[in-house]
Structure 1
């Protein structure tokens, strides 16, 4: 049976397009059919060349068909990427040999119910962010967990994140770094005017809710991974729970997550006297 791999790149970056052409050609030389930026149906893998934004775009395509995703970073941080650009020849060799493992990353299912009863659905691998709809006005919101209200405040927004997303927007908002194998969800208020507005970590079976209060018609919007927007008029309720379908990531190494943190954030570790770190 023939093998097929989808190659996705940042089409606005010439270096990414050139890298995708090289990867596609190398795979074809090894008898593997390739497609560019299309459907992941019948593909065994999606290889992504770009930054985290490109990987998030490709995740939408890969998740729809339950296909693993392998990211190669051509951007700045590339936290979701498994390899850097200089490792492309090794990446191709490992893919040809099927020398990779697949891990599942938790996602979020998002439901927005408007005051009129209209229901809108979406999902996210990093975060759902409830944000103010107008730059000059705060959003008035009540947050709740498992059907109980916790706190009401005015804020710029509320981030509801997965462990994968803990190093993205939630990190910038002051949330904790959570190892990706931890099953949990994060709540991180953004610039909240409240005494109790600390980041929280809840269990994977919990349900998170944000009610947009009907004050002065202060509407909000919900951004899913910063890519897809749902309107949340005043009086709306946003419900977030563990996603029914995860995103599958292909891994080339079994290096601990701490190694990725050090590499991506350029953390200083001088003085560490533990065992010698493995590459």
Structure 2
């Protein structure tokens, strides 16, 4: 039976092209049939036809190998969302939180893939439903990292209302509101002051962006609950909803965005058994030894030990006795 791997990368970058050439050679030597995806058109928000068009050839693949950073992996996620095909990320970017291997370990990644020496991990997405004034049918979308409602104009603040499970919670002016998965908690939500959530935490995070309010703390709800973010009628400007930084839709005043945990997860091929804690330390270069611990160690090393003079050396001068 032929085993097929679909490669997704950024064809306009020399480093990516070089990695793709090596990956094709390694995969073919390991007995895989390799296909390349070079269509960089983003999936349009709510356009099911574009989703079908983008996924041609994916279902026949054992794995979609992504050569690039997290942005390229998010692009590849548009190909595999709704399928059983896992993503295998090889990091060519800066952080590569979603990637499973580094560029220098490409040969080993192919070897592990050929030997079926990997596990498949599922990651929750969020489902998004948008109701806009004057439109009878809602528009649907999804996100692996986050769905962000931001102001459409830089000059004014966006006025929003927040509800949980249909119950009003708060309203305020802000630059926006970000709704994140556990996977996305280390991306935009993290830089906006949100907490880091371990990937197996089944919850949905909301982080207000520069909110003009006393109560604007991050919120975490269960997968059975739902956020509703409304662009209030009194908002002086419209909003824009963006999913994973790729798929966008305008939000005129009166629009409501419903976000909840999605029913269909994304699948990732995992090679490394290391826990998420180790990945967090590695990617953020966290100081595992804190400054207090380092200071204590330095202090212990600087304390002289009590010992007599070396053997064969002459004793020093006797101490001078002073009369009181």
TM-score higher than 0.5: yes
CA offset at residue 12 of structure 1?
A: 2.0
Matched, 1:166 2:173: no
Report the equivalent of 2:94. 76
Number of aligned positions between the proteins? 273
Superposition misfits of 4+ residues, deviation over 3 angstroms: none
TM-score by length of 2: 0.82
Instruction: Give the aligned CA root-mean-square deviation in angstroms.
Output: 1.4
Report the equivalent of 1:19. 19
The 5 A counterparts of 1:1-279 are 1-37=1-37, 39=56, 40-117=58-135, 118-215=137-234, 217-270=236-289
> Which stretch shifts more, 196-205 or 11-20?
11-20
Distance 2:29 2:276 in 1: 34
Distance 1:29 1:79 in 2: 29
CA offset at residue 8 of structure 1?
A: 0.8
TM-score by length of 1: 0.95
> Does the Cα contact within 8 Å between 1:120 and 1:230 map onto a contact in 2?
no
Q: Quick check: which has more Rg, 1 or 2?
A: 2
Query: Deviation string for 1:2-57 (max 9, x for gaps)?
Result: 11110111112111111112111211122210101163121010110101000000
> Does the Cα contact within 8 Å between 2:147 and 2:241 map onto a contact in 1?
yes
Report the structure, 1 or 2, having the larger strand content.
1
> Does the Cα contact within 8 Å between 2:123 and 2:199 map onto a contact in 1?
yes
Q: 1:21 to 1:64 in 2, by over 3 A?
A: farther
Q: 1:216 to 1:146 in 2, by over 3 A?
A: closer
**Alignment partner of 1:18: what SS?**
helix
> Does the Cα contact within 8 Å between 1:112 and 1:230 map onto a contact in 2?
no
> Does the Cα contact within 8 Å between 1:126 and 1:166 map onto a contact in 2?
yes
CA offset at residue 217 of structure 1?
A: 4.7
**Alignment partner of 2:288: what SS?**
coil
Query: Which structure 1 residue ranges, 5 or more long, are not aligned?
Result: 274-279
Distance 2:235 2:77 in 1: 38
Query: Which structure 2 residue ranges, 5 or more long, are not aligned?
Result: 39-55, 295-324
